Amino acid sequence: MMLAFILLTLFSVAILFLGFIKQRNVIIPISILAILSAIISISTEQNFWNHYLMDMIRIDFNSKIVSLIILYTGLALVPFFALFQKRGNEELADFMGIFIFSIVGALLMVGAVNYMTLFLGVEILSISMYILAGADRRKVKSNEASLKYFIMGAFASAFMLFGIGLIYASTGSLSLLNIASQSSVLTDFALVFLFSSFAFKIALVPFHFWTPDVYEGTPTLFTAAMSTIVKVAAFGSFYNLIQLNTPLLPDWIQWYFVFLILATLIIGNLMALSQRSVKRLLAYSGIVQAGFILMGFLQLDANSEWPIFFYFIAYTLASLVAFIVVHFVEVQSGSDDIDSFAGLSKSNPSLAIFMTLALISLAGGPLTAGFIAKLLMLNQAIQSGFSALVIIAVICTLMSVYYYYKIVNSMFSKSGDSRWSIPFIYNGLLLIFIIITFAAGIVPTYFTNLLRNF
């Protein structure tokens, strides 16, 4: 894993230098090469220089799977970042270099077994995202998004540091590896602060207020990275923290999670119903999806993690497609309002179809990865004895169909502008994401076995 950190860091510095010497044409290929090299390094478990940080980082089944999901998501996004080459003086090298740095932070988070490493990863990822949120510096909303994200992120970091301080005061260690066998009042408080800081990053209610404004103001392709890489890294790290500290967890922790899940599902759905901006709607949709993922945390038995990883894959694929389609519509119309999608089925039928299928997966429609993912989470909740929670979750899922349908209805309405197209390669990539989404929904056993036996 150490080799992946070294490669990504060296490549990101090289990319920044390429921008300085105006070699923009090679930035995207080198970015792809950087992520591919990290994927090979982690997949083949290269141990180059691992001994320097292995007391603070661990590569196991969980961290390996989540790291690969993050890297493949980054790889899927890089070709779309080539669109920034058309933005005049905007520096593609700056964006790509910072984006690769953000992946380093995400990998540090999911592999951390020491609180200082965890905090370092959180800060590298967060600071990179604060900058990318304000990448569209000529727009007030982008600057506002960056500032809001920074202020709320600073609060989350303060919560995390306070929790880490309490953990150190009560145990005398910064290791996540079963540092104590019994819980105490001090560790209970520490866990509340740590969990709250993760709830900020994941955007669980009531720690979600920053999400719609930041998603709306951030350039849409970076919003796609924010809604997938940041969320998967935060959830992966959160799961790692809980699993390694199971003996420390107080009895009330499941009820704390149930409270967060209920608040997230109900308030997230209610707020999404009234949205006109598709980016804000997808922000609330992401909040609701986070509530579903948290259901997987109610059960921490052996082999209980693969349903969560399946949900990561399903959610990431659908979110990528949805945000990328929003980006293209926004470029054409200058707005992400639902009315801007009117007639998309006529002006660009392929994008309308991709968006519809992605929304069906986010809503948990049959034959999609989203359906299987939600089914697995509901099953986890039932096995943990929370049947009432499952009933409320199903009702919330039915509610979500309404606001997803509003977008679909707009796309297939009769009105529409003249036809326009996007490059063939982008259509091809979106088609691949959709094919995987449906393959995981039609033959889920193949994918679940793949995750179990990875």
For residue 209, the model assigns a pLDDT of: 82
- Would you state the structure tokens that stand for residue 266, as one six-digit string? 């109900």
For residue 60, give the nearest of 70, 45, 50 by alpha carbon.
45
pTM over 0.85: yes
Q: Which residue would you say has higher pLDDT here, 220 or 179?
A: 220
Bond prior to 206 in cis (omega within 30° of 0): yes
Element (H, E) at 249: none
| Cβ atoms 347, 416 nearer than 8 A | yes
The CA distance from 321 to 327, in Å, is 10
Q: Give the chain's largest Cα–Cα span.
A: 67
Looking up tokens 């009769």 gives 414
Beta bridge partners of 112: 57
Question: Over the stretch 171-185, which tens digit does the pLDDT of each residue have?
Answer: 888 888 765 566 677
Question: What pLDDT, on a 0 to 100 scale, did the predictor assign at position 320?
Answer: 93
If you average pLDDT over residues 353-367, what whole number do you get?
Answer: 92
Q: What is the mean pLDDT of residues 239-251?
A: 80
Give the model confidence (pLDDT) of 53-107 as tens digits: 667 888 888 888 999 999 999 999 999 988 877 665 567 888 899 999 999 999 9
d(CA 215, CA 442): 32
Report in angstroms the alpha-carbon separations of 122 from 102, 118, 119, 393, 448. Answer: 9, 6, 5, 30, 29
What is the rounded average pLDDT for all residues in the chain? 87
In terms of Cα–Cα distance, which of 195, 198, 189 is closest to 168?
189
**Between the CA of residue 405 and those of 11, 272, 338, 348, what are the distances in Å?**
42, 12, 11, 18
C-alpha–C-alpha distance, residues 293 and 411, integer Å:
29
DSSP codes joined into one string, 348-396: -HHHHHHHHHHHHHHHT-TTSHHHHHHHHHHHHHHHTT-HHHHHHHHHH
Per-residue pLDDT of 298-321, as tens digits, reads: 877 666 788 888 999 999 999 999
First CA to last CA across the chain, in angstroms? 17
**Contact predicate 436/317, CB 8 Å:** yes
Cα–Cα–Cα angle for 203, 205, 208, nearest 5°? 40
